[in-house]
Structure 1
C-alpha cells in the first residue's frame, strides 16, 4: 500500500467533517440553558395538531411571541450555516442557496402536514370509553392513521420521489442542495445529545432493566448482524457494500446505523440513503402491528417482556417509543379486565432503555466495521495494513456523536440540577436534529431515480428485509426479551 499522509484540507473540504463542525456548533449553542440563556430556543418543532394555529411552537417557551416567525428564523439560521459549508466545499453557492430554500420550505410544510392529528395521533387508552382511541389533547378523533409525527418522513420521501421521477427538469435544479448524507450525518452528531441525556436517566432504573439493555447490544450486534449479512451475501448474492449497511439497518438501529456503516465500509453514498427510506417504511409497519400483537400475546408473555421487545424490534427511536407507550396502555387495560391494576410507565421504560443502549453503540459498531473492512475484507494478499488507514476509513462525524453523547451523559449524570439543565438543552437541540432528519428524507426522494433501482435490484433488498425481520429478528428478540424479563413483574399501582 502506498504511503498516505493525513490530508488536513479534508477538514474543511469534506461533508464528513462539515457534518461534525455544524453538529458541534449547534450543540454548543444549545448549551445556553447552563448559562441561563437561550441562544437557539427560537427554532421550531412540530406539534400533533387539529387546530393549525397550534401546529408549531418555538423550542423554548420564552420565544412564544415569535410564533410562526420561528420558521423564518430557522430558515435564515440554517441557510447561513450550510452556505458557509457549501462555499468551503466549493459547491455552486447560488444553486445551493436556491435549492436549499425550496427544500427547507417544502420540508417544513410537509412535516407540519405529517403532524396532523388524523395522521399522527397514536391511540391511547380512554378509561371512560373502555378502549384505545386517538386523541389530540382532550379531543377524541374518530380515526387516525397512528403514524406519529415520524409519518412525516414517509410523506417527505414520497413527495421527493414524485418530484424526482415526474418532474425531472425541476429536480435537476435542486440536486446541488439535495445532500442527504450531509444532513443525516449532522443529525447523527446531534443525536448524541439526546442519547446522552436519556442514558443518564436510565442509570436510575432498576439494574435488571439496565442489564437487559446491555444484553440487547450483544443480541443486536453479535447475533442479528452476522445472520443478515450471511443471508444477503450467500442466498441473495448482494455485494458487500449493500449487505453491510443493510445488516446494520435491520438489526441494529435503523437509519443512523445504516448511514454510519455505509461510511465505515465506503459504500456508494446512495446505498445507505436508499436503505434509510426502506427502514423508516418498515418501522411504520411495525408500529401499526407489533403493539397489538403484544396485546394479544399477554399474559402468555409478561408486560415487561413486551415492552423490551418493542425496543428491540422497532428500528426508529420515535416509533419505538410510541410502540412502547401503546403497549403500556393496551396491556394495562387488558390487565385491568383481569383484576390487576398495573403501574404505568414500566413497559415503556423497558422499551426506551433497551433502545437507548442499542443506540449508544452506533459509533462503536462503525469503528469495529472500519477495522474489519480495512484489515480483512478489502485487504489484498501480502498487503500490510497500516493503522492510519483505519483513520482514513473511520467516519469523522461519529467523533461528533461521541463528543455530544459523552458530554451530555457526564453532565446529566452529575446531579439532578444538572440533569434538569441537560434536558432543557436537549429540548432546544433535538428538534433541529429532527428537522435535519426530515430534510434527509425529502432529499433522498429528490436524488432517487427509479431507473437506477432497476439496475441495482432494489426489490431484492426489500425481500431480504422482509425475510430477516419477520423470519427471525422479531422472534429472536422476543425470545431473548423473555429470557431476561419473564420473571420481572410490572409493579402494581398503589391505591
Structure 2
C-alpha cells in the first residue's frame, strides 16, 4: 500500500460545477496512515461496543508448559477455531484497505494467510513457559522467522503483496494508544516524568550528534535516535513516518533494536543483582533502557516485584513521547534545508503548515485520540475491562508486522549499508543510554532529589 497521494484523473476528478470530489479521488486521499487509523478505530470501537453490551470476546490462548498443554490447549479444536476466526477478521479488514487503495486483493490474501500463520507460530513458541522465563517473547521469534525466509528464499510476488510492515504496525500503534493513560503518568510521579524528559532528550541529541560525526545521513540518524531514546521499534516507525523515511532504513533499525534487546534483557538484570543496585532504581533503569513493556516486565521479573512496577511505570512515561516526538520531528524535517550528497545546498520549497501537515504521520493522530478517549472520556472500569482484549489484538498486528520486517531485512545490509556506520552509531548510542539512564535512575529514584516513590 502506497503512502503517497496520487493526482486524480482529469476526466473524473471534479464535477462539471468543479465542486465535489469523486469517489476514486477520495479513496486515493486515504493513505496508509489513514487506513491504519480507520482499521484501528474500527477494532477499538467494536471491542468497546461488544464489551459494553455484555458480550465476551474470546481470544486464542498461546500459553503452554509441556506437550500435553500444547495438544490440549493450543492445538485444541476450540482454540484453533478462535485462531482461524481472528485471522479471517483481520484479513477482511486489511483486504478492504488494500483493495480500495488499488492493491491486488487476491495475491494479498494468499500472502497474508501465510504471514498470519507464521505469526501464530511465533506466539506459540514464545508462549512456552520455559522460553518466556528467559524473557524471550514472540517479537524475537517473529523477526527470526521472517529473516530466515527473507534471506534464504526469493519471495514470490503474491507474498510480497502482503509484506506491508508499516501498515500493520501503524494499525497496532493506534490500538496501543488505548494503554497510554494519564493515570499512569500521575502514578509515575515526578521522578518518572523527569527521567523520561532527560533521558529521551539527551540520548536523542547525542545519537544525532554521533550520526553526523560518523557521516550517517540525517534520515537514518533521526530513525536511529528515536529508536534508541524513546521506545525502540514503535518510535522508529513513528519517526520514519514523520520524515517519510526509506523503508530499508526502517527495517535495518528494527533489526538492530531487536538484536540488541536480547543481550540487554539478560545482562541488565544480572548487573542489578551483581552490583547490589536497589530494586526500585534497577526497575527504573530497566524501564528507561529496554524498548518494550513486555521486555521490561520480563527483565524486571528476574530482579523482583518492585522492579517490575517501577520499570513499567518508567516505560509508560517514555512511551508518551511517541506522539510528542512525531510532532516536533515532522515540523523540523519540513523546515530543514536539504543538501545534496556533495554537501551543496539545494533549493528548498518554502515550507508552511501545508507541508508540515503532509509530512506529519497521520496514524499518530489515531494514537493520540485513542489515548485521550481512554484517559478522559471512558471510566477507569471500562478502560480496564477492554484492556486485555485490545492488547491481545494489538500484539497480533505487531507479530504480523515483525514477520514482514524480517522478510524485508537483509543481514548483508547490516555491514554494507553506509559501511556499517549506522550499526556502530546505534550500539554506541545504546551504551551511552544505558549509563546515562542508570545515573538518573539513581538521582531520581534513589531519594537524592525527591522522595523515593512507593511501588509496594
Give the TM-score, by structure 2 length: 0.86
Which whole-Å CA distance do the structure 1 matches of 2:419 and 2:384 have between them? 40
Secondary structure in structure 1 of the residue aligned to 2:196: helix
Tell me which residue corresponds to 1:124: none
Question: Hey, what's the Cα distance between the residues in 1 that align with 2:177 and 2:455?
Answer: 34
Residues 255 and 409, structure 2, Cα contact 8 Å, conserved in 1: no
Matched with 2:302 is 326
Matched, 1:462 2:428: no
Give the drift of 1:212: 1.4
Does the Cα contact within 8 Å between 2:28 and 2:101 map onto a contact in 1? no
Alpha-carbon separation, structure 2, partners of 1:365 and 1:12: 25
Point out the more displaced range, 272-281 or 434-443.
272-281
Partner of 2:146: 160
Inter-partner Cα distance in structure 1 for 2:232 and 2:240: 12
> Structure 1 residues 243, 202: closer, same or farther in 2, change over 3 A?
closer
1:437 equivalent in alignment to 2:398: yes
1:200 paired with 2:183, answer yes
Per-residue CA deviation, residues 103-153 of structure 1 (Å, 9 max, x unaligned), is 1112112321222223212xxxxxxxxxxxxxxxxxxxxxxxx034x2x22
Where structure 2 has 5 or more consecutive residues not aligned to the other structure, the ranges are 1-5, 9-20, 340-345
Is 1:386 aligned to 2:352, yes or no? yes
- Partner of 1:137 in structure 2? none
1:221 matched to 2:200: yes
Aligned-partner Cα distance in 2 for 1:457–1:71: 42
Matched-pair contact (CA < 8 Å) for 2:199–2:436: no
Distance 1:231 1:281 in 2: 21
Quote the residue 1:293 is aligned against: 271
- Offset of 1:327 from its aligned partner? 1.9
Alignment-derived partner of residue 20 in structure 1: 37
8 A Cα contact 1:79 1:100, kept in partner = yes
What is the DSSP-based 3-state SS (H/G/I as helix, E as strand, rest coil) of the residue aligned with 1:46? Answer: coil
Aligned match for 1:448, one of 406, 409, 414: 409
Q: 1:485 aligns with which of 422, 431, 445?
A: 445
Aligned partner of 1:395 among 344, 357, 361: 361
Unaligned runs of 5+ in 1: 58-63, 122-145, 329-344, 413-417
Number of corresponding residues: 425
Q: Note the alpha carbon deviations across 1:401-448, whole angstroms, 9 max, x for none.
A: 001111111146xxxxx3232112111111111011111111112223
Alpha-carbon distance in structure 2 between the residues aligned to 1:482 and 1:153: 30
Shift of 1:78: 0.7
Match for residue 235 of structure 2 among 257, 270, 285 = 257
User: Does 2:307 match 1:347?
Assistant: yes
Report how far residue 190 of structure 1 moved: 0.7
* SS of corresponding position for 1:266: coil
Whether 1:364 and 2:350 are equivalent positions in the alignment is no
In 1, distance between residues paired with 2:192 and 2:455?
Answer: 23
TM-score by length of 1: 0.79
Structure 1 residue 489: Cα displacement? 5.3
Report the CA distance shift for 1:490/1:222 in structure 2 as closer, same or farther (over 3 A).
Answer: closer
* Structure 1 residues 427 and 56: CA distance shift in structure 2, 3 A: farther
Find the aligned partners of 1:382 and 1:178 in 2 and give their Cα distance. 33
Q: CA deviation at 1:17?
A: 1.0
Q: Which shows bigger deviation, 370-379 or 216-225?
A: 370-379
Q: CA deviation at 1:452?
A: 5.3
Q: Find out whether 1:98 has 2:110 as its counterpart.
A: yes
State the distance in 2 between where 1:68 and 1:15 align: 31
Tell whether 2:98 aligns with 1:47: no
User: Does 1:176 find its partner at 2:161?
Assistant: yes
Question: Cα distance, 1:459 vs. partner?
Answer: 3.4
Counterparts in 2 of 1:88 and 1:325: CA distance versus 1, 3 Å:
same
CA RMSD of aligned residues (A): 2.7
1:75–1:66: structure 2 CA closer, same or farther, 3 Å change rule? same
8 Å Cα contact 2:63/2:129 also seen in 1: no
Instruction: Tell me which residue corresponds to 1:334.
Output: none
